[in-house]
């Protein structure tokens, strides 16, 4: 199993977990499995989304696997080839990791969310596809706000 290292210097947190390493993580991040991690892959230039807005996103969902490339294990869902997925941010209609994870994104932005079980499906898992207590990774692109 690959080791995890959290480095904090001058108030900047950098997380190295296997293949994921970035200085763009939010300051509230910690090791996988303890808190939501938001990694901005591309900063958008459009309107910024906030709670109460209707988000239009494209996404791909993966099971976390520390031994896989970019720690993206088995893919379990994707909006690829479909219209963007729509949800009201903060309304509790999606997992908590999504409600919290997209806030602050700008249209055109891409973000990787690493969501611990307690902000995803927890001990129950989901639909025979997501096992109990699974950490999930979502690659999300904010394509619009209504």
- Could you list the active site residues? 59, 76-77, 95, 121, 138
CB 5 within 8 A of CB 16: yes
**CA 130-112-119 angle, 5° bins:** 45
Q: List, in sequence order, every residue forming a beta bridge with 48; answer none if it has no partner.
A: 106
d(CA 108, CA 110): 7
The 3-class SS string of 112-135 reads EEEECHHHCCHHHCECCCECCCCC
Structure tokens at 127: 């639909």
């Amino acid at each position: 199993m690959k080791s995890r290292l959290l480095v904090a210097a001058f108030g900047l947190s950098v997380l190295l977990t296997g293949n994921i390493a970035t200085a763009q993580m939010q300051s509230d991040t910690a090791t996988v499995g303890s808190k939501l991690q938001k990694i901005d892959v591309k900063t958008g230039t459009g309107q910024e989304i906030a709670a109460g807005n209707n988000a239009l996103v494209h996404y791909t969902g993966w099971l976390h696997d520390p031994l896989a490339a970019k720690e993206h294990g088995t893919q379990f869902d994707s909006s690829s080839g479909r219209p963007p997925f729509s949800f009201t941010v903060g309304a509790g209609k999606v997992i908590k990791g999504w409600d919290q994870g997209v806030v602050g994104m700008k249209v055109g932005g891409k973000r990787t969310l690493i969501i611990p079980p307690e902000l995803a499906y927890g001990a129950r898992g989901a639909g025979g596809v997501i096992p109990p207590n699974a950490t999930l990774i979502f690659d999300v692109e904010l394509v619009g706000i209504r």
